[in-house]
Amino acid sequence: MSADPLLPPSDADLPTHGADPFGWLEEVSGDEPLDWVRQRNEHAQETLGGDDLVATRAAIREVLDSDDRIPAVSRIGDHLYNFWRDADHERGLWRRTTPDSYRSADPAWETVLDLDALAADEDESWVWHGASVLRPTPEQLAAGEPWRRALVDLSPGGSDADVTREFDLVEKRFVPAAEGGFHRPLAKGGLAWADEDTVYAFTDLGEGTTTSSGYPRTVVLWRRGTPLASAPVVYEGSVDDMYIMGSRSRTPGFERDLVRRSIAFYRSEVFLVDDVGTPEQRLVRLEVPESAEVGLHREWLTVELREDWRAGGRTYPGGSLLGVVLDDFLAGSRDLTVLFEPTSSTSLVGATWTRHHLVVTVLEDVAHAAHVLTPPDLTDDADARAPWARGDLPVGGELLTIGVGAVSAVDSDDVWVTRSGYLEPSTLGVTTVVGPGDPPREPEVLKSAPAFFDADDMVAAQHFATSDDGTRVPYFVVGRADLVRPADDSAPGAAPTLLYGYGGFEIPLLPGYSGTVGRAWLARGGVYVVANIRGGGEYGPRWHQAALREKRHRAYEDFAAVARDLVARGITTPEHLGVQGGSNGGLLAGNMLTQYPELFGAVVIQVPLLDMRRYSRLLAGASWVAEYGDPDVAEDWDFLRTFSPYHLHDPERRYPPVLLTTSTKDDRVHPGHARKMAAKMLAAGQDVTYYENVEGGHGGAANNAQAAHMAALAWTFLRGRIT
């Protein structure tokens, strides 16, 4: 065995899957594993059930079902479309209204597709995965033809695998395959419109057509009325790739066919396809770094860098956004315009094109600002190398998250603007982006969400903790003023406090209003904390890359530093401090449990990765090797084992109480992670509560009722352990 009993076993000591005494729980739908799940669910209901759970679930359900929520909309032709769930529509309605009606206090909604009725008719628990609508040609629009053709994605029970069906927006019905409608069978993948009689199909087409992660390996051009199996291949990737897909940009005058080859997370290639689907077909790769993200808008190519790039005799730092005329770039020019360049405290978090402008949203120490960049107008024979005009969009605010999205990048300069803060309910507005010389326009607020809890005596504040290597780590604290800002520093507080984190995949955690957190926790005297640890995207790619692979420990050290800082500030004590995380955040919470148990009074681990020896062999796990490392490579396992909670668990060690939850339908992160960890800890006689929802996919719930129940379990568990 390993010389140090606190370290996980060496590779030679590690049991194989067959020798793992809890490996049988990886059989997702096996009779014995599901019997075990039912027994654990019954135990969880017995342990956590009661008046508190019922009341909490009802309070959360009221938030989720509220008719006063802001209906998020997308402009499609003359209508605004919205997908909506409430108490009467458990699975949801796809519906539409007019822009004028949407501005009213009580919009008149027309139902386009009723998922509850569809689920009942087909005896399937359909979950909405979205829709894409074909933009008519300029000639069709001039002739007054409607936006008619849609591709609707539906998932059984919320799994990542879904089906795609063609839908007629005029007749409000699915187009049967017998009438030539496009229907994609259940798999991970999708369809994308090329024209009204052709789609790109990237899906499981049989043996050899998926990657090792279970995603599409090929993209084909599927013509209406022909078998999918005979569709010509546009591109075929490697089995070790992550995902292959195709699409067509239909901006009039700038129609382009594209293939994207996702090699791994943070590595991809993008190809322009000429004469697609013909014997003369030719693919031209955009020669940018594999780690970069590219965007196309009319004449322009944008390149967002994750790493430094030497081009045209100049080095552009990672985190920058660059712009260039696409035709010039294809001709060999590397005379790039810097649209954004990060500093030690700033990062780019969003960019959206309108017809004439590019709006970028930027974080500075996790505070939002939005800027307008206007390229030279090439229709006036302007020099493509001329400076882009720069201005601001007046949408900022203290400790607020700002979202800016184009209403239509093809023919409008209008943008949707959302604002939300921990104590400020969300608003949705619209404004027209203007160029240089015109005064910026304040957004017109169209919708405001209600306040779901009384925040009059509450505050939100930002602090910084110091991690083990001296790095300053920001975090947000929300709660009653007397709890968040103790009056007497010499008398430590003991407020029940929940610390939440994620720390992966360059995803930032930003301020936002949550009626659920407010009702279930803040209004009942709890303090809520969000940690912006390394691995996330709060400071751009460098913040993410600082905790990749063998540097993963930094994310956990950052999180532990925030926990200690909360105690040092007199807000709470370890006995009253809980931690919560899901997915990659579940791996974070699992490491807090196994590496820092003395810092916490309770741990909530949701849809988690925990067995880092097996993760790459389970479902989509192989696609995350770039984030964590490859356990089948000895050098990688040497560091992976240091943050594999399943192997770090010590049956003789004392751990805080833990709640583990997952979903049987999660086909992204295997439910075996949570099952095996729970079983291992239970076998050691430790305090574990386990609950597995039968539906919900990686989101953990397929409808509002399930979401309310899953959330109520966590809040009830926490109140019972750290209050």
DSSP-based three-state secondary structure for 42: helix
Phi (first) and psi of residue 253, to 5 degrees: 85, -10
- Any long-range contacts for 485-493 (C-beta under 8 Å, 24+ apart)? 485/459, 485/461, 486/569, 486/570, 486/571, 488/570, 489/570, 491/570, 492/567, 492/570, 492/573, 493/570, 493/571, 493/572, 493/573
Phi (first) and psi of residue 380, to 5 degrees: -100, 20
- In contact, 205 and 218? CB cutoff 8 Å: yes
Closest CA to 95 of 175, 172, 174: 172
User: Which residue of the set 268, 583, 616, 644 is catalytic?
Assistant: 583
User: Which residue of the set 368, 647, 673, 698 is catalytic?
Assistant: 698
Residue in the structure block whose two tokens are 């609707």: 152
Q: Which helix (H) or strand (E) holds 82?
A: strand 79-86
Reading the block at residue 66, the tokens are 């509220």
525: Cβ–Cβ under 8 A, 6 or more apart, which residues?
Answer: 480, 483, 495, 496, 723
- In contact, 415 and 372? CB cutoff 8 Å: no
* Identity of residue 96: R
Reading the block at residue 423, the tokens are 């104590």
249 is a catalytic site residue? no
Rounded CA gap, 83 and 129, in Å?
10
CB hemisphere CA count around 525 (13 angstroms): 10
Q: Which helix (H) or strand (E) holds 102?
A: helix 99-102
* Identity of residue 240: D
Q: Please give the biggest Cα pair distance in the chain.
A: 79
Neighbours of 701 (CB within 10 A): 20
Closest CA to 620 of 634, 605, 606, 607: 607
- In contact, 328 and 335? CB cutoff 8 Å: yes
Q: Are strands 321-325 and 337-340 parallel, antiparallel or unpaired?
A: antiparallel
698 is a catalytic site residue? yes
* Identity of residue 441: R
The alpha carbon torsion through 638, 639, 640, 645 (nearest 10 deg) reads 110
DSSP output for 144-197? T----EEEEEEEETT-S-EEEEEEETTTTEE--GGGT--EEEEES-EEEEEETT
Q: Supply the residues annotated as catalytic.
A: 583, 698
